[in-house]
Structure 1
């Protein structure tokens, strides 16, 4: 796991993914927070406060190994992934809200992610915890691989919208290819431990995924948010940027065990989100009377 594929490939894959996110954003996406403050606030509270608390409770309940516990907390603190936009579109969610939440949460996570991770390291006190931790120098690396590519993508879209539109698909394909290469290399390197990893965190990550999606949908609905926006919140909160969590664990914390929960979650979240989306739309929860309240959907 100390190979160049992991230490160099993962940051490159993440940077390309975040640059692709930037190409899909405009300054207006950040300004939309002022027009829909309630939905954005509820989603961010669920993402930033409820999920770490739930992850902490599950970790205590399952009695996870300290390093795996830190990995679960790191996963819980990671922002939504860009794939949430696709799932939201497939299940009739408010894609524009997804774009806004991803943009805002990616910025906030630069602060909240190190806070949650360092808390977990201090609380669970793994054996090599003294050598781990996201100090300022490492936080600046998170900033570099998350915000700088996004900012560059936004700038390119603003200055060269035609180029940004043309590059959208190649960047997505390229990032997926690099990430797939890294994952395959990682799996081959860790093939003797994969069964143990799945046995250790398979169930807890599955439960956490279902809870994340459910909280993301039902809490906003209970608080009066439209069903289309609630679907967007659910996908944003349930589909994490597991690539970011894995990159921090492997490249910044230099510990493969901390990356395991995010890696397993990254495999489970897509089929679980698909089933969850099918269930809530099948039951007619995306009511047609929401359409008048929802902002225009912009596919990304």
Structure 2
């Protein structure tokens, strides 16, 4: 195993699973039942993730006249759902964690159907010479969601139920640990993609930055337009702009068999960690978000 493989296949999933465990200790079943009872926030988040994000990505690829390989790489990223990293950022930003987890899980499952459809159109439109049938590893994708997200959070919620005082005492230490792990994950992403960073920033640095800022901006504006509270607006903003870069990279390099398509993904990963870090720095200091 190379260092990049160890980071991507062992360190990142294990770190995120630990964070999900701590996140679960801040949640109770009522947090999720509230989403079912009032589904407006979840629906807005899903529309942003599954509808607006690909449209914005497609439009930018045309406006910036990207070559076919870069355009399809950008679309690979734009079709992917949010990942566990988005849940981590929402936790530190003191957003609606239950909403974030719900959006990640549902969008990940729905995207199994939407990714092949959108990417097939992108390959045809941009004229890439990649002639493949796009089939996602459905079972592996679901298992990834379960192992990294659902199971650790469920265990954390069980701890919260039966060891409430312990769970409450662990909130601050786990938030600090989340921040530290976020920084380590950022460093790991750079280490795993360092060969592509220079090329990526030169070729698609600007367009990926604009994509990140626009998707986050649209997420926040739609949340406020529909009068969602600030905690839910944070979750939708983050879920709209923080993508599952690992899944995107797997699709580009394994399914589409084109390493160059991973260049926009590497560039975007840097930007989303920077913008996510800024949000954590600014919003993590805030108090009493429920009333805003």
Change (3 A) 1:216 1:171: closer
Q: CA deviation at 1:98?
A: 1.5
SS in structure 1 at match of 2:55: helix
Residues of 2 paired with 1:213 and 1:277: CA distance?
14
Change (3 A) 1:99 1:148: closer
How many residue pairs get aligned? The number is: 277
Confirm or deny that 1:96 pairs with 2:98: yes
Residues of 1 paired with 2:109 and 2:32: CA distance?
11
Q: Which residue number corresponds to residue 108 of structure 2?
A: 106
Answer yes or no: is the 8 Å Cα contact 2:197–2:263 preserved in 1. Answer: no
Confirm or deny that 1:120 pairs with 2:127: no
Residues of 2 paired with 1:48 and 1:55: CA distance?
12
Confirm or deny that 1:213 pairs with 2:216: yes
Unmatched 5+ stretches in structure 1: 295-300
Q: CA deviation at 1:87?
A: 3.0
Q: CA deviation at 1:76?
A: 1.1
Answer yes or no: is the 8 Å Cα contact 2:53–2:79 preserved in 1. Answer: yes
Residues of 2 paired with 1:65 and 1:146: CA distance?
33
Q: CA deviation at 1:229?
A: 1.1
Q: Which residue number corresponds to residue 291 of structure 1?
A: 290
Q: CA deviation at 1:112?
A: 2.1
Q: Which residue number corresponds to residue 134 of structure 2?
A: 134
Answer yes or no: is the 8 Å Cα contact 2:186–2:273 preserved in 1. Answer: no
Q: Which residue number corresponds to residue 70 of structure 1?
A: 72
Deviations 1:114-142 (CA, angstroms, capped at 9, x unpaired): 32222222322312x11x34226x45554
Confirm or deny that 1:235 pairs with 2:221: no
Answer yes or no: is the 8 Å Cα contact 1:94–1:231 preserved in 2. Answer: yes
Answer yes or no: is the 8 Å Cα contact 1:32–1:100 preserved in 2. Answer: no
Q: CA deviation at 1:4?
A: 5.9
Range moving further from structure 2, 263-272 or 41-50:
263-272
Deviations 1:233-261 (CA, angstroms, capped at 9, x unpaired): 10111111212211222233332111111
Q: Which residue number corresponds to residue 256 of structure 1?
A: 259
Q: CA deviation at 1:113?
A: 2.4
- RMSD of the alignment, in Å? 4.0
Range moving further from structure 2, 10-19 or 203-212:
10-19
Change (3 A) 1:155 1:114: farther
Range moving further from structure 2, 261-270 or 11-20:
11-20
SS in structure 1 at match of 2:128: coil
Change (3 A) 1:103 1:142: closer
Q: CA deviation at 1:273?
A: 3.3
Q: CA deviation at 1:14?
A: 6.6
Range moving further from structure 2, 242-251 or 220-229:
242-251
